[in-house]
């Protein structure tokens, strides 16, 4: 090796950053799930920004254990799937007050650290990036999400009795 050849620095994940994202995602999910009809394993939220409709986000409980839940989050549109609709599996840790993406887009597991370059060209910090995307997506849902009209009408009819 010549004197100017340098070995690439190995990526070290920032656990504080990942932990903060997972804690924030837990709180965002908790707030969004307050919109669901009690007892239902599925919560749907319609996204509107001004007069533009962006489809629905479905949050479905896949599995429940004593301290954890596994959720599937998916954005859907009435006229079919959009190109690159987000779809993620999220593990919610109630005891640790954290929620982290465990897979996205068709059960692809997310490694904590990826060597780079790699066969699929995943970023070394992909786990942080995907959890950051979840934070942005949930924040957007909180800002522009509404209960679907059929749920809102049903809930209003119940409260009138």
What is the secondary structure of 120-150 as a DSSP string? T---TTHHHHHHHHHHHHHHHHHHHEE--HH
pLDDT in tens, 111-146: 666 666 667 666 667 888 899 999 999 999 999 998
Burial of 132 (0-12, 13-18, 19+ CB in 10 A): middle
pTM of the model: 0.77
pLDDT: which is higher, 161 or 120: 120
Mean pLDDT computed over 105-112: 67
Q: Which residues neighbour 64 within 8 Å (Cβ) at sequence distance 6 or greater? A: 70
Question: Across 12-16, 46-50, 68-72, which has the greatest mean pLDDT?
Answer: 68-72
**How is residue 145 written in tokens?**
């999400």
b (16+ CB within 10 A) / e for 62-84: eeeeeeebbbbbbbeeeeeeeee
85 vs 105: CA distance, rounded Å? 9
pLDDT at position 35? 67
Q: How confident is the model at residue 3 (pLDDT cuts 50, 70, 90)?
A: low
Tell me which residue has tokens 């990942």: 18
Residue 35 phi/psi, 5-degree rounding, is -75, -20
pLDDT at 94 over 50: yes
Q: How confident is the model at residue 102 (pLDDT cuts 50, 70, 90)?
A: very high
Domain positions in the chain: 15-149
Question: Across 50-64, 76-90, 102-116, 147-161, which has the greatest mean pLDDT?
Answer: 50-64
**Dihedral of alpha carbons 111, 114, 119, 122, sign:** positive
The three-point CA angle 128-31-53 to 5° equals 85
């Amino acid at each position: 090796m010549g004197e100017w050849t340098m070995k690439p620095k190995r990526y070290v994940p920032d656990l504080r950053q990942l932990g903060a994202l997972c804690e924030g995602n837990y709180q965002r999910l908790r707030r969004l799930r307050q919109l669901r009809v009690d007892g239902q394993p599925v919560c749907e939220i319609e996204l509107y920004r001004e007069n533009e409709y962006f489809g629905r986000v479905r949050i479905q409980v896949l599995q429940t254990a004593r301290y954890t839940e596994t959720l599937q989050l998916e954005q859907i549109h009435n006229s079919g799937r959009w190109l690159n609709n987000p779809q993620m599996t999220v593990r919610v840790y109630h005891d640790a007050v954290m929620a982290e993406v465990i897979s996205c887009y068709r059960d692809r597991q997310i490694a904590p650290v990826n060597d780079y370059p790699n066969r699929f060209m995943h970023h070394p910090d992909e786990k942080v990036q995907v959890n950051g995307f979840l934070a942005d997506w949930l924040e957007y849902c909180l800002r522009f999400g509404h209960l679907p009209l059929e749920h809102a009408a049903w809930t209003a009819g119940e409260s009138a009795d």
